[in-house]
């Protein structure tokens, strides 16, 4: 399980993200349908800004392998950020 801890002005949030939810999100984000729609939705904006960019296809198998490997590394801190205004974000496996 991945734990996301957010502290803003004395208020703390701890959001546990199970690997099942993460795998489901990967399946949705890497779907060919969603990626085609994403390119379609952003095409007009990129044309307006005169930027030649399309979102590359994301490999679902590779992302799932990465998540599988991360499951064995419990306790590792992936992100630890402290802003000047006191906001803190910490992501831990």
Note the pLDDT of residue 66: 87
Transcribe 7-32 into DSSP letters: EETTEEEEEEE-HHHHHHHHHHHT-H
The answer to whether the pTM exceeds 0.75 is: no
Residue span of the structural domain in which 86 resides: 2-92
| The token pair that represents 72 in the structure block | 């064995």
Task: List the end-to-end C-alpha distance of the chain, in Å, as a whole number.
Answer: 6
Number of domains in the chain: 1
pLDDT of 56 > 80? The answer is no
């Amino acid at each position: 399980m991945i734990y996301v801890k957010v502290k803003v002005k004395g208020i703390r949030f701890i959001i546990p993200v199970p690997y099942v939810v993460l795998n489901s999100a990967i399946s949705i984000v890497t779907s060919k349908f969603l990626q085609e729609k994403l390119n379609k939705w952003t095409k007009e904006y990129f044309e307006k800004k005169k930027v030649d960019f399309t979102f590359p296809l994301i490999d679902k198998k590779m992302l799932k392998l990465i998540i599988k490997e991360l499951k064995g590394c419990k306790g590792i801190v992936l992100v630890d950020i402290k802003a000047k205004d006191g906001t803190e974000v910490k992501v831990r496996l």
